[in-house]
Amino acid sequence: MKTGWIGLGAMGAPMAGHLHAAGLLHGAWNRGAARRDAFADAYPDAAVAESPEALAEAVDVLALCVSADADLAAVLDRVADRLAPGTVVVDHSTVSPAAARSAHARLTQREVAFVDAPVTGGVEGAKNGQLAILVGGDAEAVQTLHPLFDAYGKVWKHLGPPGSGQAAKAVNQLIVAGIAEAVCEALALVEKLDLPADDMLELLGGGAAGNWFLDKRGRTMLADSFETGFEPALLLKDLKICRALADEAGLESTVLPGAIADYQRLVDGGETGRDISALIRLKR
Amino acid sequence: MKTGWIGLGAMGAPMAGHLHAAGLLHGAWNRGAARRDAFADAYPDAAVAESPEALAEAVDVLALCVSADADLAAVLDRVADRLAPGTVVVDHSTVSPAAARSAHARLTQREVAFVDAPVTGGVEGAKNGQLAILVGGDAEAVQTLHPLFDAYGKVWKHLGPPGSGQAAKAVNQLIVAGIAEAVCEALALVEKLDLPADDMLELLGGGAAGNWFLDKRGRTMLADSFETGFEPALLLKDLKICRALADEAGLESTVLPGAIADYQRLVDGGETGRDISALIRLKR
């Protein structure tokens, strides 16, 4: 199987790296040159493609890990006509279920399969190949992708028709945002009350408040470091997808309006660092 | 060391049971007779005390696990005059930091020590002796309590002067409530979107949304079972304590107003079951 990879960001680069280590990566490409160069430096024996068009013509599977609906559409504009019938496109970006269904419809016309497969587990999960993968699409195409999922996934599930993976990811992000709000407020309160930080991290993590975000980000937040992780602007994009889905489904959410307002304020203020834990700055 | 125990609820009974197993329990008492009888049935060779007054006169350490500020004050009204100088009272209830400081001041006048030591880890943590214990008080008195904490604690920390344990617990409950809100909404959305429940629990738990509450309550919530756990009315009480503390400390919380409104609505509606995961009923 020859796999191409488009999108070498904080998640995409280590994922493509795992694919390369598994001997499955034919070539990788990124829109911005800086990340192409960084990938070439990190994996000197991996091939960086000249263009997405060239990559699309050379592979059996094309994996994408870009940012938003518009980025997915822009990639498809460039590659759709170059993909041979029978090719499988798998998108690891987080986009709206509607964008995934639209991509599926567009490629199906060309006898190309499209699978939506957003991931969760953070940059840590991408680096150590321990991602959870949320998969929507046609069963036969999903079957083709097992070797890829094995390369960077800890657990993956085929959840239903096209768009199901993205719907599931929106649900995931609702939890991620709710936890981020609660933990950022709690640790701001720890600071304000002058409670001993290290002891509090151990106690909070050891009981019914325990969660991934506190475990992975608690210490860095309290050290005012927001260098590693998941960018606030991306979570904000995901939460707007989730709000649309919740509205459609008739869920009256308490969490989403507050989280969207807070992350909008954080992003507008500009002091976001590279991780959603920077929300603590609003709470101090 | 002869220890007395007052308060044999969902948390207190198994905690007193661990103390009994460690050979430290002189006697136990509960205001309501039903829970006294249930304790006697569960631990036939443990002694149930005739009254809190009798218990207070017989012990070196008196441990409390009641519900709210008023319950703590009511117990102290009965036992304060019966405790010998040098006795240590440890309160595992969740009450306001002010109530803990007031109890400390009241008992100090009688040369009795008072330590606030609320716990977290749920009924599971109480049953398997794996609680996290958040301790405030005078260092010498805290030192006396190590054998008790060893009997039912996984981790415990002395966080500062009287009231510090309760302040820390309020911080903990902010996270607990924020996570409960997010997980209940997310799982209601899983139902509305008809995503496969078992797969979703595994995926959500395996990535950046992972948390204790989802792990321990996800499956039962989706089965509409709310029999085991932490009563919504008690969380609501804790959140009101946390709100007062946050207001005092100057934290503008996004999480607390929504969570207090939701849990107030759940408690007012009466359909709470015995666990805070029943919040999903409001979100369906």
Residue A76: which of A98, A102, A40 has the closest Cα?
A: A102
Report residue A9: phi and psi, to 5°: -80, -160
Q: State the best of A181, A221, A247 to mutate against chain B, taking most chain B CBs within 10 Å.
A: A181
- pLDDT tens-place values along chain A, 284 residues long: 999 999 999 999 999 999 999 999 999 999 999 999 999 999 999 999 999 999 999 999 999 999 999 999 999 999 999 999 999 999 999 999 999 999 999 999 999 999 999 999 999 999 999 999 999 999 999 999 999 999 999 999 999 999 999 999 999 999 999 999 999 999 999 999 999 999 999 999 999 999 999 999 999 999 999 998 899 999 999 999 999 999 999 999 999 999 999 999 999 999 888 899 999 999 99
Measure B186 CA to nearest chain A CA, in Å: 5
- What does DSSP assign to residue B185? H
Report residue B6: phi and psi, to 5°: -125, 120
Query: How confident is the model at residue B69, as a pLDDT?
Result: 97
Contact between B155 and A188 (Cβ < 8 Å): no
- Domain B167-283, CATH class in plain words: mainly alpha
Q: Could you say which of B156, B202, B212 has the minimum Cβ distance to residue A210?
A: B212
Which residue intervals of A22-145 are DSSP H helices?
A: 33-42, 52-58, 69-79, 97-108, 122-127, 139-144
ipTM score of complex:
0.95
Q: What angle do CA A12, A15, A19 make, to 5 degrees?
A: 130
Domain boundaries, chain A: 3-160, 167-283
- pLDDT tens-place values along chain B, 284 residues long: 999 999 999 999 999 999 999 999 999 999 999 999 999 999 999 999 999 999 999 999 999 999 999 999 999 999 999 999 999 999 999 999 999 999 999 999 999 999 999 999 999 999 999 999 999 999 999 999 999 999 999 999 999 999 999 999 999 999 999 999 999 999 999 999 999 999 999 999 999 999 999 999 999 999 999 998 899 999 999 999 999 999 999 999 999 999 999 999 999 999 888 899 999 999 99
Query: How confident is the model at residue B268, as a pLDDT?
Result: 97
| CATH pick for A3-160 out of 3.50.50.60, 3.40.50.720, 3.20.20.100, 3.40.50.1820 | 3.40.50.720
Contact between B89 and B64 (Cβ < 8 Å): yes
Same fold, B3-160 and B167-283: no
Per annotation, catalytic residue among A169, A237, A240, A283: A169
Report residue B91: phi and psi, to 5°: -110, 115
Place of tokens 């490409």: A29
Query: How confident is the model at residue A265, as a pLDDT?
Result: 97
First to last CA, chain B: 51
DSSP assignment of B15-77: HHHHHHHTT-EEEEE-SSHHHHHHHHHHSTTSPBPS-HHHHHHH-SEEEE--SSHHHHHHHHH
What pLDDT, in 10s, does the model give residues B198-231? 999 999 999 999 999 999 999 999 999 999 889 9
By C-alpha distance, the chain B residue nearest A155 is: B203
* B-chain residues near A189 (CB < 8 A): 170-171, 174, 245-246, 249, 251
Place of tokens 């049935």: B41
Cα–chain center distance at A200: 30
Query: How confident is the model at residue A271, as a pLDDT?
Result: 81
Interface check for B174 against chain A (CB to CB < 8 A): the answer is yes
Query: How confident is the model at residue A272, as a pLDDT?
Result: 83
What pairing do the DSSP bridges indicate for beta strands A119-120 and A131-136? Answer: antiparallel
Cβ burial of B196 (10 Å; 0-12, 13-18, 19+) is: middle
